[in-house]
Structures are given as C-alpha cells and as structure tokens.
C-alpha cells in the first residue's frame, strides 16, 4: 500500500514555475497541501527528480520557492483514470511557508473545510 497523506489536500488552479537541470517550464497546479502539490503536465520528469519550484497562491501576497521531489508521475494517460502530471513533495519549504499554505488550503471548499460565510 502507498503512503497515507497526512496533510489536508484541496483542488486548486494556479500557475507553477519549475526548473530542472535541463529546462524551465510553467504549468498549472491541480491540488495542494502543506506537504506538496500536483502539477498537470503531459511530460512529467522521471520519479525522484528534484525540481526548483516557484509559485504564488491566489490571494496570498507571498511568493513560495523551494525544492520539490517528483514522487508520482503519470505521462499523457491513454487509459489511465488519473490525469497527466506529477506529484511533488516539498523538500526545503520553511515552516512559516508551510503554515501559510496550510491556512490557504483550509479556506478552500471541500470535505472537512470550514463553512464559507
């Protein structure tokens, strides 16, 4: 069985810039938690690749930048139920940044989210 997620995860849509040793790209995040995010892309890098990622969250003025480890990848799916993209685990995200992301995630609608006023 796979590793159980400990962080609350929510669906999102915001641009993420990422860079590997070979290239610099932009794509859109599909979901996020305090521990990582999923980026939609037809050409995800191989598993265990480390990328430098940079993004801002809607309504949050701070820019986030850290290393992300590719822990899940699904190239352009032919018969997969899962979307094409990659799951990244945040590696060196400062604790304050993680807390900001977790607070942002809690404001988004979804199971277990606080009621919207």
pLDDT for 116 beyond 50: no
- Higher per-residue pLDDT: 60 or 110: 60
pLDDT for 110 beyond 60: yes
Residue 6: per-residue pLDDT: 63
The torsion angle over the Cα atoms of residues 60, 64, 68 and 74, rounded to 10 degrees, is 40
Which residues are CB-contacts of 5 (< 8 A; sequence separation ≥ 6)? 33, 35
- Give the integer Cα–Cα distance in Å for 99 and 117: 22
The torsion angle over the Cα atoms of residues 62, 19, 12 and 28, rounded to 10 degrees, is 130
- Give the integer Cα–Cα distance in Å for 66 and 48: 15
* Average pLDDT value for residue range 86-112: 90
DSSP state of 44: P
Please say whether the structural domain 11-107 has been given the CATH code 2.40.10.220: yes
Whether the CB-CB separation of 29 and 37 falls below 8 Å is answered with: yes
Residue 114: per-residue pLDDT: 46
67 by Cβ neighbours in 10 Å (0-12 / 13-18 / 19+) ranks as middle
The fraction of the chain above a pLDDT of 70, given in percent, is 87
What mean pLDDT is reported for the chain? Answer: 85
Alpha-carbon Rg for the chain in angstroms = 14
pLDDT tens sequence across 22-64: 789 999 999 999 999 999 998 899 999 999 999 999 999 999 9
Positions of E strands within the chain: 10-19, 24-33, 36-40, 50-56, 63-74, 85-90
């Amino acid at each position: 069985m796979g590793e159980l997620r400990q962080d609350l995860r929510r669906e999102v849509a915001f641009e993420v810039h990422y860079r590997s040793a070979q290239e610099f790209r932009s794509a859109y995040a599909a979901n996020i938690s305090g521990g990582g995010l999923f980026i939609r892309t037809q050409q995800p890098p191989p598993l265990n690749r480390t990328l430098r990622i940079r993004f801002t969250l809607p309504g949050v003025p701070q820019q986030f930048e850290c290393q992300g480890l590719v822990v899940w990848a699904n190239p352009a799916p032919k018969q997969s139920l899962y979307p094409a993209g990659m799951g990244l685990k945040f590696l060196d995200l400062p604790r304050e940044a993680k807390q900001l992301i977790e607070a942002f995630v809690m404001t988004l609608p979804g199971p277990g989210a606080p009621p919207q006023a």
